[in-house]
Chains A and B, each alone.
Chain A
Amino acid sequence: MNSDGPSAAWESRRRVVLRDSISIGLAVGLYGASFGALSTISGLTLLQTQALSALMFTGASQFAFIGVLGGGGGVTSAITTSILLGIRNSLYGLRLARDLDVSGSRRVLAAQLTLDETTAVALGHEHVDDPRGFRLGFWATGLAVYVFWNLFTFLGALSVTSVGDPRKLGLDAAIPAGFLALLWPRLRSGSAWALAAVAAATALALTPLLQPGLPVLAVAVVAVIAAGLGVDAPTVEAASLESPARPTPPTESTEAPPPEQDPPS
């Protein structure tokens, strides 16, 4: 074993990055069980549920897709809502592109793993002049989240295929609670709360007037107008996207891996 300075330092950093990646992958993966269960209850087959986790592979969009369909919305509303929720992944990609430096087939793979969690871990292990921690954090977290998310989706979907009346088990309350848990970490400013309140009120006011699914989409217009008017509500992830490169002391990053607290989105 090579024990000279820089290499030994990298060895210990490497272990920290891998430990962060796997623990976050496992924590996020567990939420996949709720997705699998709720998706099946919303009327999707086990195979469709699994396809969403394997192909779409971005939590908030997946939950929105099944939520709109389960609420009686049309497929067009389901598609549009899930795609609108995926827009932030483009911004993560922008932030990742330089240090990740991927092209060709590696970029095709990296794109599928571009998520809140991989971005957060990669940025958490960013070092000036040395992209190894950043890259390892991205790939290891991406792989861990992908494997665990899909595995637990399967187990969750399987667990409810035998369930009788979902209402009797209160599962119709579990779906909005899941959305609320995804929303919660984003409500970190007064303007975020105000927007959430206006959005909820608008959606409810439009519910008797429009086909199911459309009120939620109409709310997207509210958000874009607010953005046009200069309303800002940076999320934790967005704030960290703007921070300059910072070396992360290994001990700190293991004590408080930021994305572990938050649901997948």
Chain B
Amino acid sequence: MIWIAVILASAGCYALKYLGLSVPESVLDRPFVRRSADLLPIALLSALVAVQTFAGGQQLAVDARVAGVGAAVVALLLRAPFIVVVLVAALTAAGLRAFGLAS
């Protein structure tokens, strides 16, 4: 099942790339399409941040993940590179759990 999803999603992403190189500019170059392409990543990534931080299945919870993501915000404000942001979040959450300060 996961393999089918990997193949289908990859095919879809490839088709979108190929489409852009192949269609006449006028077909896709419309303000609505351009705005959608700018807004969709912001909305989807923000939703993913929220859900992955607070959701466990269909339940909402505040646990060590929140502190981890908070630490990631600080790292981003300090212009840390991607890998550091991810590590800071993991270490913060792991540390709080190791000391029994958060679930």
Bound form: Cα–Cα A201–B47 in Å = 8
Q: For chain A residues 127-185, which have a beta carbon within 8 Å of chain B?
A: 167-184
Interface centre among B22, B32, B38 (most CB of A within 10 A): B38
Bound form: Cα–Cα A198–B43 in Å = 8
Q: For chain B residues 8-39, which have a beta carbon within 8 Å of chain A?
A: 8-10, 12-14, 16-23, 25, 28-29, 32-39
- B40-63 CB mask vs A (1 if < 8 Å, else 0) is 111111111111111101111000
B65 A172 Cβ-Cβ under 8 A: yes
DSSP class of B's interface residues: helix, strand, loop or mixed? helix
A223 B45 Cβ-Cβ under 8 A: no
B89 A170 Cβ-Cβ under 8 A: yes
B37 A168 Cβ-Cβ under 8 A: no
A204 B55 Cβ-Cβ under 8 A: yes
Bound form: Cα–Cα A230–B34 in Å = 11
B60 A207 Cβ-Cβ under 8 A: yes
- With an 8 A cutoff between CB atoms, is A234 at the interface? yes
A223 B86 Cβ-Cβ under 8 A: no
A107 B18 Cβ-Cβ under 8 A: yes
Q: Within the complex, what minimum Cβ distance (angstroms) separates B89 from chain A?
A: 3
Residues A56 and B10 in contact in the complex (CB < 8 Å), given A71-B55, A173-B90: yes
B17 A200 Cβ-Cβ under 8 A: no
B69 A207 Cβ-Cβ under 8 A: no
Residues A91 and B20 in contact in the complex (CB < 8 Å), given A78-B5, A238-B34: yes
A97 B42 Cβ-Cβ under 8 A: no
- A211-243 CB mask vs B (1 if < 8 Å, else 0) is 110011001101110111011111100100000
- A57-97 CB mask vs B (1 if < 8 Å, else 0) is 11011011101110110010011011111111111111011
Q: Which of B19, B39, B48 contacts A223 (CB 8 A)?
A: B39
Q: Which residue of A lies closest to B60 (CB)?
A: A207
For B32, list chain A residues within 8 Å (CB): 227-228
| Interface size of B as a range | 35 or more
Bound form: Cα–Cα A180–B38 in Å = 16
Interface centre among A87, A173, A182 (most CB of B within 10 A): A173
- With an 8 A cutoff between CB atoms, is B3 at the interface? yes
B40 A223 Cβ-Cβ under 8 A: yes
- A182-204 CB mask vs B (1 if < 8 Å, else 0) is 11101100001001111111111
Q: Within the complex, what minimum Cβ distance (angstroms) separates B31 from chain A?
A: 8
A222 B43 Cβ-Cβ under 8 A: yes
- With an 8 A cutoff between CB atoms, is A23 at the interface? no
B28 A90 Cβ-Cβ under 8 A: yes
Q: Which of A38, A92, A111, A168 contacts B94 (CB 8 A)?
A: A168
A75 B5 Cβ-Cβ under 8 A: yes
For A169, list chain B residues within 8 Å (CB): 90, 94
Q: Within the complex, what minimum Cβ distance (angstroms) separates B71 from chain A?
A: 8
- Chain A residues in the interface with B (C-beta under 8 A): 30-31, 33-34, 38, 44, 48, 51-52, 55-58, 60-61, 63-65, 67-69, 71-72, 75, 78-79, 81-94, 96-97, 100, 102, 107-108, 110-112, 114, 167-184, 186-187, 192, 195-204, 207-212, 215-216, 219-220, 222-224, 226-228, 230-235, 238, 261, 263, 265
7 closest pairs, A vs B, by CB? A93-B20, A173-B68, A170-B93, A177-B89, A170-B94, A223-B43, A173-B93
